[in-house]
Structure 1
Amino acid sequence: MGRPKQPDISEHLLDQCTDHALEHGLPDRLQPFIDATGTSARMLLYHFGTRDDLLRAVLRRARQRHLEYLGAMFSVVPGERYTSTLARAWVAMTGPQARPFVRMFDQLTEQHDSALWPGLRARATTDWLTPLQAGLATIDRAESATLVLAVFRGLILDIDATADVDRADDAFGLLLRTLDPEAPRISRDEGTVKSPTSA
C-alpha cells in the first residue's frame, strides 16, 4: 500500500506554484515549478497527477485568490453612492496587485488552452454581472451592467497594451459621469476617489 498523500504538503506546493505562475506566467513544462518549490517532478506528479492537472489546480487557486481580492469590490456599500464603489473597484482592478491575475488569464486566452479549464473565459466574465446589476440598480442603471463590465475589460486590455493609465482613467471617469452626474473623480494619488467638487 502506498503512503497516503499529505494535504498540507499539497497545499503548500500548490501555493508555491501559484505564486510562481502569477509572477512569471504559466510555464509550458514542469521545470519552473520544480525550481520554485525546491522539489522534484516525481513529487509534484505524486501530489497532483499530471502536468495538466497541476496547471488546472494552479489556475483554480489563482482564480480563488482573484475572487477573494476583488469579490467585494462590486458589492453595495451602505451609505456610499455606487459610482464611488465602481471608481474604487476600477483603481483596484487596474493597480499593481491585480496585474498578475490579468496577465495570467490573458496568457491562457492567448494559448487557446481551453482544455485546462473549459468555460473559464465565460465564467471569468459573467462572475461579475450579478453584483454589478445589484449595485447599478441602486442608481436605477441595472441595465448598464454589461456595458460597465465591457468597459472594465476593454480598458484593462488597453492599459496592458499601452500602459497609458491616465487615458484609461479619463475614459472610465467619463463612463461613471454618464451613468451618474454625481460620480466622483478617480484619484490614484490617494488610491481612492475624490468627489466631483474636489480641487
Structure 2
Amino acid sequence: MGRHKQPEIRDRILDACVDHALAHGLPDRLEPFVAASGTSMRMLIYHFGTRDALLTETLRRARRRQRDFYGELMSPRADEPYLRTLRRMWQAMTGPEGRPFLRMFGWLRESTEQQLWPGFRREATTDWLQPLEDGMRTVGHPELATLVLAVIRGLILDLEATDDVTRADQAFDDFLTALALLTDPALSKQDGSVPMIAV
C-alpha cells in the first residue's frame, strides 16, 4: 500500500514556498523551493505533481494572502473617514508588509502568467474594484472607484520603476486632496485655492 499524503505537510511546504516567492520571486527551477521548504525534490513532486502545479498553487496562495491583507485595508470603517482609510492603506501597501506582494506580482512575466494563471492580470485589477466601490460609496461617489484604482496602480508602477517613495507618497497625498475636493465641494475656498485636507 502507498502512503497517504498528509495535508498538513503539504500545507507547510506550500507556505514555505510562498514565503520564498514573496521574498525572491517565482524561481525558474525548483531547487530554491527545495531549500526553502527543507524537503527534497522527490517530496515536492510527490505532493504537487509537477513544477507548474506547484508554481500555480504558490501564486494562488500568495494571492489569497494579498487579497486578505489589502482587502482589509481597503474596507471602509465606521469610525474612520474613507479618505483617511485610503491613506493608511497606501502606507501599509507600500510599506514593509505590503511591498513583497507588489514585487512578486510585479515580477510576474506575461508569459508566466499565461502559462500558470491565464487571465491573472485582469483578475488582479478587477478584484479590488468592489472594496473600493464600497469605500467610495461612504463619501457618495462609488463611481470613482475606477479612478482611485487607476491612480494606485499607476503610482505602484512608478514606485517599482524608481523606488522614489517620497515622491510617490507626495503624489498620493496630492491625489487625496483633489479627491476630497471632488467628493466635498464645500471644502473649496472662495478664492479658488486648494486647502490642505487632513487625511
TM-score when scaled to structure 1?
0.88
Equivalent residue for 1:171? 171
Residue number in structure 1 paired with 2:124: 124
Paired residues of 1:136 and 1:144 also in contact (CA < 8 A): yes
| Identity across the alignment (%) | 57
* 1:48 is the counterpart of 2:48: yes
Q: Quote the residue 2:79 is aligned against.
A: 79
Query: Is this contact kept in 1: 2:180–2:197, CA < 8 A?
Result: no
Give the Cα–Cα distance (whole angstroms) in 2 for the partners of residues 127 and 197 of structure 1. Answer: 29
CA contact (8 A) 1:109 1:121 kept: no
| Other-structure match for 2:109 | 109
CA distance, structure 2, for counterparts of residue 161 and residue 96 of structure 1: 17
Report the alpha carbon displacement of residue 77 of structure 1 after superposing the two structures with TM: 0.5
Deviation for aligned residue 1:2 = 1.7
State the distance in 1 between where 2:80 and 2:37 align: 44
Output the aligned Cα RMSD: 1.9
2 CA distance for matches of 1:111 and 1:35? 26
Greater mean deviation of Cα atoms: 61-70 or 4-13: 61-70
Cα offsets for 1:112-149 (capped at 9, x unmatched) = 43220112111111111011111112212211111110
Unaligned runs of 5+ in 1: 184-194
CA contact (8 A) 1:34 1:41 kept: yes
**Does 2:36 correspond to 1:20?**
no
**Superposed displacement of residue 38, structure 1:** 2.1
In structure 2, the residue matched to 1:192 is: none
Deviation at 1:197, TM superposition (A): 5.7
The equivalent residue for 1:29 is 29
Residue 150 of structure 1: aligned partner: 150
Question: How many corresponding residue pairs?
Answer: 187
Does structure 1 retain, via aligned residues, the 8 Å contact 2:10–2:47?
A: yes
State the AA in 1 paired with 2:168: A
Question: In 1, Cα distance between the equivalents of 2:112 and 2:16?
Answer: 25
Q: Which residue of 2 aligns with 1:186?
A: none
- Tell me if 1:38 matches 2:38: yes
Aligned 8 A contact 2:71 2:131 in 1 = no
Asked whether 1:135 is paired with 2:135, we answer: yes
Larger helix share, 1 or 2: 2
Tell me how far 1:22 sits from its aligned partner: 0.9
Pick which of 36-45 and 47-56 moved more: 36-45
Q: Distance in 2 between matches of 1:33 and 1:121?
A: 24
1:133 touches 1:143 (CA, 8 Å); kept in 2? yes
